[in-house]
Structure 1
Amino acid sequence: MSLDGHTAVPPESSIPPMPGFPPRAGIPTQHAAPPGGTPGFDVTGWVSAKRHRTPPAIFSLGPEPRPSDPKTLADDAIPGWKLILRAALNFLVALEIFMWLTGGALVWALGFVWPALIKAAGQEEFWATTLLNLLYVPVALILVFVFGRMGRWKAVWRRYGSPAWSRLRGVAVPTAGPVRGPVEPVDVWGPLRVVADPGTLALLDAETAQGLVGDVDHQRLLGALERVRQEPERLAALLGAVREHGAVACAHPSGARDLPGRSLAHDLLSRQLRLGAAENVPKNPAGYRGADIALDPLLLGTSLLAVGPAGSGKTTRLTRPVAEALCLQALTGSAVVVVVGAADADLGPAAWYDVVVAPGDPQAGYGLDLFGGAAHADEAAARLADALLPDELALRTESARLALQQIVGPFESGYGRLPGVRELVLLLRGEEQAWAGLLAAVRGSGMLDRHQHELAQRERMHGLADDPGTLLADRLALLDRPVFAGCFNPSAGDRAPLPLFALRALDHPLRVRIALPDHSHPEAARILARLAVGQFLHAAASRADRSLFAGLVVDDASAAVDTHAVRGLQRLRAANAGAVLGLRTLVDLPESLRAPLFGAVGGRMAFPGLAPWDGKLFEEAWGTVWVDERDVTRSLDTSGGVVRRSFRGMRALLEGERAQTESVTTRKVERRRWSASDLAQVLPRGHAVVSLTSVDGTQVPPLLVRLP
């Protein structure tokens, strides 16, 4: 059975399509992938693992935040070799003192205070020997307290001992992410078991016990149950498929049950992607220090803007993982994703995607519908006109829209289809033969009275110096190249095109990759990037069915962001959709768009190497915070006589610091959370500063995150 034009897996079976997504026409067909889950996956341990979700953006399977006091931060700043050397030196001194005391000094001292005890102990009387041994305990505790404090033994245990002990006690469980602490097994198919007859889940339980069920299978089946729970007929079909096919039931239209080469940074149960670990530094709020930071659809629903130069890790540490997470969610039937980037950008292998649109690639399997994502001709013409004009010609957008609408609408009425690229070029330039053919077609359709006025307006503009049609034709000619033959809407007489993908198909759990020819045809790539982003934003906001999260990932959005895109981003929050946009620098955008873009997104991410003028916008967006500023005046302690100074010298040797006197003054001051200078010069490699906002308005303050 097919779903959305795809072949279900296995092809010869009668597995029903994923409930909630009825078959639709007009979506390219892709051959089914061979079935296969995640061998050896412990789905019971994964579902049973303890999770936490407070505060927001904390990875549910990661460590809980651990607030840190200034003393802990100071200990963490000490180099490891120095910390261990100081701890070992204090241990040796404490051991020598303890051996000296227990070797005779303590007995000699007690002989003056309690001679009867020493005499009885010498005669090996039980009560005296026991009491004398018990006196060694408080002596040992005092030594541990004194020298452990000077040697910072607690910091050594926290940095080295505790992790090693946790690894020693931990139980290795193959999961899709780290599991915290011991877990109590739960019934992973409990929701299905409530509505199923005895024996319905026999095959599914057997596959679960054998490790043949993956996290994608679990979420896909439970998601299908939620969609059909109130529809008895479809619920019976779902339970029948589970009884017959087990974990393969209701497979994704592509047949895939996992992604090849996927990472372990995902928790599909909470729909989270582990982004990195919040550093234990004063700039990070105490509620986030030491915890893993994660993204989910609630946070991506406000969109995320990432800025950083080439090589800073935007693709490998952000856009590729986000694309992978959304592709996994698409396999569970809860998301649709469109990934836009250069053909050579590392955004995952082709096997991750159902549709790969690669204009200019002779091996491409799909083309792009230039008018996709619009309900009628005027909307289609407006989207295409916005994409064709570069930023420097934005002032002519309205006249260009009108010029294209004056052709596309009548053409559709006359020919019953939308025009191809070459036909549009000829009509925009006012070629006599093409124009006469259009007039004849409109007259023959009986629609001349309806379109006569706009056709006359367009004809009067032919040949004038300010005719926007000439400009549009020149821009559109960049797509009318032999290398792009068959990649876009065909004109009359063209060879059969590739199957055209239309971005209006965002109500299906599709995984789409648009690979742009950035190196061979850079200007055409910019047009296609603007077109894809504009069509997505329009289609996502105008969907009737918003049950799927619609995710857009743009690796380099410098050419794709314009005034219309900024407006479209603001509408995604209410449409169960979101975008992740990457930029090398904000200078690539017109100055008039930079501040509105920052205001349109709820998430902002700064990577190392950020230019100071880019950091200025981050600094202003993140604002200020009240902090306690401490002015400390220190001076060496030289008071006392010879004995006291000698004691301070020995203490300085053990602690690694000379004794000082200090005076502290504390006051409240307002400081920038992150200054442009910090972002440009202090941000370490492999890190990023990220702030997030949930669709319900909950904000996550700027956090310094160590990226994997």
Structure 2
Amino acid sequence: MDTEGTQDAQHTAAPPPSAEWRPDPAVPRPAAPHTPPRPTAPPAMPTAPAAGPAGAPPALLTWLRTPRPAAAPGIWSYGHRPRAVKEPERIPLRQLISGAVIAALCGWLLWSLLWNGYLGPYWYWPLRLLRPDSWAAARTSADRTAFMVVTNAYYGLWILGIAFFFGRLGRWPELLRRVLGPVLRRLRDRAPAAKPEPATDPAQWPELRAHGAPDAADKLAAEARTGAMNDVDVARIRRAWRSVRAGRNSLASFTDTVLRHGAAACAHPSGARDLAHRTAQHDLLAHQVRIGTAADHPRNPYQHRGSGCALDPRVLGTSLLAVGPAGSGKTTRLVRPVVEAMCLQALAGQCAVVAVGPAGSSLGPDGAFDVVVRIGRPDPDCDLDLYGGTTDPDEAAGVLAEALVGDLAEQLPGGDSRRAATALAQLLGPFRAAHARFPTVPELRELLDGAPPAMAALRTALEAAGGHPLLRELDARARQSQRPGDVALLLADRIALLDRPAFAGFFDPTGATRQVSLRSLDHPLRVRIELPERGHAEASRILARLVLAQFTECAVARADRSLFACLVLDEAAHTITAEALRGLQRLRSAHAGAVLTLRSLDDVPETLRSALLGSVGCRMAFAGVTPWDGAPFAEVWGKEWVETRDVTDRQIIAHGAGMKAFHLVRQLVTGKAATSKAITVRTVERERWSASDLANALPAGHAVLSVTTVEGEHAPPVLIDLRP
């Protein structure tokens, strides 16, 4: 059956156990085969134990049945308990206890006065109206019983009335909620939850049963009970079922596949059903990865305090920018969990991920990816397509020009890279027409240099191939090369950075190497690209811009956008250009997004810093940012109206010997002079997070994050504790 692309992406040497699986020759094989055995037990689910006591349901069933209530963007929804939007007025516990004790003493005193008759006999009058006078003599047992019942009931009503009055006065219900509430919640959480009805039990696959696939539902429910299924299997099969409901696949084919392969049905082409090791908490039903916990801080909205903070494709689809110095935790506490989440969702057939970072960065083990491209390393297993897999010379020229001179666009004539793209197109078009391929890096360098032998050979080959209409391109290139300040010379200098011995085995368009093309983003692809930052810093920046330009171009050009395409660029210094910002803005409507990290905003041209923060929907400032890095964040996060209280203490002047003695005793007891307080309440406008707060008030291991969904829903900046 067609599995909506889940079986059309990267393939390994060993195919998965699915008869419908077909490899795609257009997608390269991974660097090393990775076919883990069929799991015998499910992995540990989020906040759920990996193994329960004897007789307890498997962790997978608990994970499936845990509620996921609707929450604001960025909140971890697994088992979330919504809170009020505004913080209720909280009285100090000490004041609650003292008030409750005083109210109880007052109530006991009033009852004592009534019982002992100090307040007179008037409170007995209602009782005398309720009982006959003959009951008071109590001559028979029936009269004595009736007398005792009515009398005790009357006393009980008075006691309840006094308790109710003084209980409300002393705030007894609030005190009980504050003291006993946490204990009762812990006891409730420890109590075994009631098993839901089969019609509503997610572990019984009710949707399949309701739409004509009861046999498949029974098979999957049995796999879940025996521990042969994990959360990736659940997410992957649910996606395949959605394709059936959408009419892209047949019900009979889906049922047959599930009955034959069980939890392994519709597996990823690599055969993997999970990652070997997880470093973060994931909820594949909500597509979320937890990155931290919202701190209990006055600056945080009350509904966020103490809740988990998570990222998912709905917010990553607006792209995320994270800024923080080295060692602040951008890679280990943000990039690594996001890459891991995208890899898991790729195994579930929901995502395609491209992770880019310097060699040695902790983006994940090799086994978590289908392809690992190590540029500049000897004996490469896989290569990177310099032209992005396109056959259009103009498109290839535009992407390549952005990579080569995008950071120098302001210095070029016209203020952009269009002239550079034109110069490249004048060479790439004739070369492809003559040789049915694009030039290699050394060949392109010679053509850009205008070497007479190279240009003459290209003209001869083009004439032999019958490409006479394109001879005009070569003529135009020859005329422009004679003008002072020809952009081709700058392009030749830049392409020379890739024409080094370390890159001799890379960027080969002749087909001699296996190349990764970002044209395959409509498959659940997992790619990691290592850049040669050490020793080739400028070449590494060119390649980073190349991957970013290819990703934005290919993600938007996809015909099938059902998969979420994610680019994670760890250390995006000197890659942000005006064209890159326009590409990031187009990703939101293409079901794609990018995660970019920077050590400082100084790595971005000053004219583009505000535009960069405006182009992304998610912004994250880590502890240790400088005030000049925090100022743009403070500006884009804006201000809010807050209520401030100004308290003024004024000493009370006692008049008379009695008051003076009272004030003296009070000062001896409390250690403070008698004062009266004047409180002024004002509503003022204040920055949510000022540049000074971001630079000086963020604790180590914390960050401030604001998120926006692709639908436009947004959450204010929240201080997050990223520590595990």
Query: Which residue is 2:574 aligned to?
Result: 559
The residue type equivalent to 2:517 in the other structure is A
Query: Which residue is 1:211 aligned to?
Result: 227
Does 1:572 pair with 2:590? no
| 1:317–1:707 Cα contact (<8 Å) kept | yes
Does 1:423 pair with 2:443? yes
| 1:629–1:668 Cα contact (<8 Å) kept | yes
Query: C-alpha separation between the residues in 1 aligned to 2:209 and 2:19?
Result: 20
Name the SS of the counterpart of 2:519 in structure 1.
coil
Query: Which residue is 2:524 aligned to?
Result: 509
Query: Which residue is 2:477 aligned to?
Result: 458
Query: C-alpha separation between the residues in 1 aligned to 2:316 and 2:502?
Result: 36
Q: Structure 1 pair 202/546, CA: closer, same or farther in 2 (3 Å)? A: same
| 2:294–2:307 Cα contact (<8 Å) kept | yes
Does 1:549 pair with 2:568? no
| 2:65–2:201 Cα contact (<8 Å) kept | yes
Q: Structure 1 pair 619/627, CA: closer, same or farther in 2 (3 Å)? A: same
Q: In the TM superposition, what is the alpha-carbon distance from 1:62 to its structure 2 partner?
A: 4.3
Q: In the TM superposition, what is the alpha-carbon distance from 1:306 to its structure 2 partner?
A: 1.3
Query: Which residue is 1:627 aligned to?
Result: 642
Stretches of structure 1 lacking an aligned partner (at least 5 in a row): 76-82, 117-124, 174-182
Query: Which residue is 2:35 aligned to?
Result: 33
Aligned-residue RMSD, C-alpha: 4.1
Q: In the TM superposition, what is the alpha-carbon distance from 1:375 to its structure 2 partner?
A: 5.2
Does 1:489 pair with 2:508? yes
Q: In the TM superposition, what is the alpha-carbon distance from 1:263 to its structure 2 partner?
A: 3.9
Q: Structure 1 pair 71/661, CA: closer, same or farther in 2 (3 Å)? A: farther
Scaled by the length of structure 2, the TM-score of the pair is: 0.81
Query: C-alpha separation between the residues in 2 aligned to 1:71 and 1:251?
Result: 49
Name the SS of the counterpart of 2:293 in structure 1.
strand
Does 1:441 pair with 2:476? no
Query: Which residue is 1:53 aligned to?
Result: 70
Q: In the TM superposition, what is the alpha-carbon distance from 1:629 to its structure 2 partner?
A: 2.5
Q: Structure 1 pair 616/444, CA: closer, same or farther in 2 (3 Å)? A: same
Name whichever of 38-47 and 299-308 sits farther off.
38-47
Query: C-alpha separation between the residues in 2 aligned to 1:637 and 1:548?
Result: 72
Q: In the TM superposition, what is the alpha-carbon distance from 1:243 to its structure 2 partner?
A: 0.5
| 1:414–1:447 Cα contact (<8 Å) kept | yes
Name the SS of the counterpart of 1:518 in structure 2.
coil
Query: Which residue is 1:189 aligned to?
Result: 205
Name the SS of the counterpart of 1:212 in structure 2.
coil
Q: In the TM superposition, what is the alpha-carbon distance from 1:690 to its structure 2 partner?
A: 1.6
The one of 237, 247, 253 equivalent to 2:253 is 237
Q: Structure 1 pair 658/697, CA: closer, same or farther in 2 (3 Å)? A: farther
Query: Which residue is 1:414 aligned to?
Result: 434
Query: Which residue is 2:334 aligned to?
Result: 318
Q: Cα deviations across residues 572-601 of structure 1 (Å, max 9, x unaligned)? A: 111111111111111111111111111111
Does 1:44 pair with 2:48? no
Q: In the TM superposition, what is the alpha-carbon distance from 1:419 to its structure 2 partner?
A: 0.9
Query: C-alpha separation between the residues in 2 aligned to 1:650 and 1:37?
Result: 73
Query: C-alpha separation between the residues in 1 aligned to 2:97 and 2:82?
Result: 32
Q: In the TM superposition, what is the alpha-carbon distance from 1:570 to its structure 2 partner?
A: 0.8
| 1:638–1:645 Cα contact (<8 Å) kept | no
Does 1:277 pair with 2:281? no
Query: Which residue is 1:80 aligned to?
Result: none
Q: In the TM superposition, what is the alpha-carbon distance from 1:23 to its structure 2 partner?
A: 5.3
Query: C-alpha separation between the residues in 2 aligned to 1:693 and 1:441?
Result: 54
Query: C-alpha separation between the residues in 1 aligned to 2:35 and 2:119?
Result: 87
| 2:446–2:454 Cα contact (<8 Å) kept | yes
Q: Structure 1 pair 57/198, CA: closer, same or farther in 2 (3 Å)? A: closer
Q: Cα deviations across residues 252-276 of structure 1 (Å, max 9, x unaligned)? A: 1111111222145221112122233
Q: In the TM superposition, what is the alpha-carbon distance from 1:230 to its structure 2 partner?
A: 4.9
Over alpha carbons, which structure has the higher Rg?
2
Query: C-alpha separation between the residues in 2 aligned to 1:157 and 1:659?
Result: 36
Query: C-alpha separation between the residues in 1 aligned to 2:20 and 2:665?
Result: 83
The residue type equivalent to 2:19 in the other structure is I
Name whichever of 360-369 and 537-546 sits farther off.
360-369
Name the SS of the counterpart of 2:684 in structure 1.
strand
Name the SS of the counterpart of 1:626 in structure 2.
strand
Q: Structure 1 pair 677/348, CA: closer, same or farther in 2 (3 Å)? A: same
The one of 358, 371, 379 equivalent to 1:355 is 371
The percentage of counterpart residues that share the same residue type is 43
Query: C-alpha separation between the residues in 2 aligned to 1:592 and 1:218?
Result: 47
Q: Structure 1 pair 38/63, CA: closer, same or farther in 2 (3 Å)? A: farther
The residue type equivalent to 1:422 in the other structure is P
Query: C-alpha separation between the residues in 1 aligned to 2:673 and 2:209?
Result: 68
Name the SS of the counterpart of 1:504 in structure 2.
helix
| 1:280–1:290 Cα contact (<8 Å) kept | yes
Query: C-alpha separation between the residues in 2 aligned to 1:265 and 1:371?
Result: 37
Query: C-alpha separation between the residues in 2 aligned to 1:200 and 1:286?
Result: 44
Query: C-alpha separation between the residues in 1 aligned to 2:477 and 2:384?
Result: 27
Pairwise mapping of residues 360-375 of structure 1 onto structure 2 (< 5 A)? 360-362=376-378, 364-372=380-388, 374=390
Q: Cα deviations across residues 168-187 of structure 1 (Å, max 9, x unaligned)? A: 558899xxxxxxxxx98444
Give the aligned length.
665
| 1:635–1:660 Cα contact (<8 Å) kept | yes
| 1:10–1:34 Cα contact (<8 Å) kept | no
Q: In the TM superposition, what is the alpha-carbon distance from 1:490 to its structure 2 partner?
A: 4.7
| 2:73–2:708 Cα contact (<8 Å) kept | no
Name whichever of 374-383 and 461-470 sits farther off.
461-470
Stretches of structure 2 lacking an aligned partner (at least 5 in a row): 43-57, 122-143
Query: Which residue is 1:499 aligned to?
Result: 514
The one of 16, 20, 26 equivalent to 2:20 is 16
Query: Which residue is 2:452 aligned to?
Result: 432
Does 1:586 pair with 2:601? yes
